Amino acid sequence: KMAGSSAPWIGSAYLFLQSTCKTIVLPSLYESPQKKHSVFKALKLALADSTGSVNGVDMLKVHCSHPHLIVQLKFCKQENCRQFLQSYREGALQESLQNHLQLCLAMTTVPLEMELKAGNEHLDNMLKDEDRCLECIYREKPDRLRDEEITELEECLKSLIVHQSINNNTAVKDCASLNSLSLPYPSQGSTLSPQVTFVFQGQQFANRTLTPDDHQKFAKLVSKKWKQVGRSLQKNCRALRDPVIDNLALEYDREGLYEQAYQLLLRFIQSEGKKATIARLIAALEENGLISLAEELLGLHSNEDCF
């Protein structure tokens, strides 16, 4: 019995991933030297979201088996595995991974299909019986140590986070733990104090932290005015103080306006955390006459106007 054993609880499973969009082939993206790190980062963040901890589940190897990307997972605690199964069953893992892939690969959408297996067992057929799923995962002991490539990707990701933190003048207390890897949208949809609501065009709106959807819409629609919005946000955000905005313009000049705007808001979100609220962004948009974009972010446009 699992509960009666004094040995540590360790189990393994395989997560099969496939994009339902014909133009997005996950194994090809992972095999691409330019995209591999972005796909790995999205996987790492989504798995961290699923257990509430960067160390909740370990990736041992990523297999490219067209059209599937197959991730071998290792669980070291039963409670982490339960959280993962709950996230998988409720669709939260799928949604999280889609969002992270969308952001990391700068794509409009990355629709996914998922399948979870442990040995010969298809866990999707028994998700309602969580204890049975746990037993199947527990029976499958990991047959390998972590792949060297995964270790290298982890190290690269840590270095990237440290580099970004130094550039943003923010302190990283424990880079090795990858705490800063948790989603840059700390409390999506939650209201915040003390400014719980704010007024726009005479209407009251709930204040909340910025979401991936806000991030995408801003980058798509702000166009050439992204710098002006940045200078408005700059007043209360150290990470955007001169010469950061000009450096972003130079660094991402080849990628174009979308990427420049995207990186600007990413710096704001990473630096401000829970304080990166919709109210602050709307105020910056108003200050620069971008009323239509503000309305889009607040859902004031009709469906046919939305993209």
Instruction: Annotate 59-79 with DSSP letters as a single string.
Output: EEEEEEETTEEEEEEEES-HH
Helix then strand count (H, E) for the chain reads: 12, 7
AA letter at 236: N
Look at residue 195 in the predicted model and tell me its pLDDT.
57
What are 61-113's pLDDT values in tens digits? 999 999 999 999 999 999 999 999 999 999 999 999 998 999 888 888 899 99
In what helix (H) or strand (E) does residue 122 lie, and over which residues does it extend? strand 121-122
Domain ranges of the chain: 11-153, 197-298
Left (φ > 0), alpha (ψ -120 to 50) or beta: where does 119 sit?
A: left
CATH superfamily of 11-153: TRADD, N-terminal domain (3.30.70.680)
Residue 128's SS3 state is coil
Output the average pLDDT for the chain.
85
Question: What is the radius of gyration, based on Cα positions, of the chain?
Answer: 21
- pTM greater than the 0.85 cutoff: no
Does residue 228 carry a pLDDT above 80?
Answer: yes
Alpha-carbon distance 232 to 286, whole Å? 10
Does residue 257 carry a pLDDT above 80?
Answer: yes
What are 111-142's pLDDT values in tens digits? 999 999 999 999 999 999 999 999 999 999 99
Residue 207 · residue 192 · CB < 8 Å: yes
Query: Residue 69 forms beta bridges with which residues?
Result: 17, 64
What are 163-202's pLDDT values in tens digits? 554 555 544 433 334 444 444 555 444 444 445 788 898 8
Specify the CATH class of 197-298 in words.
Answer: mainly alpha
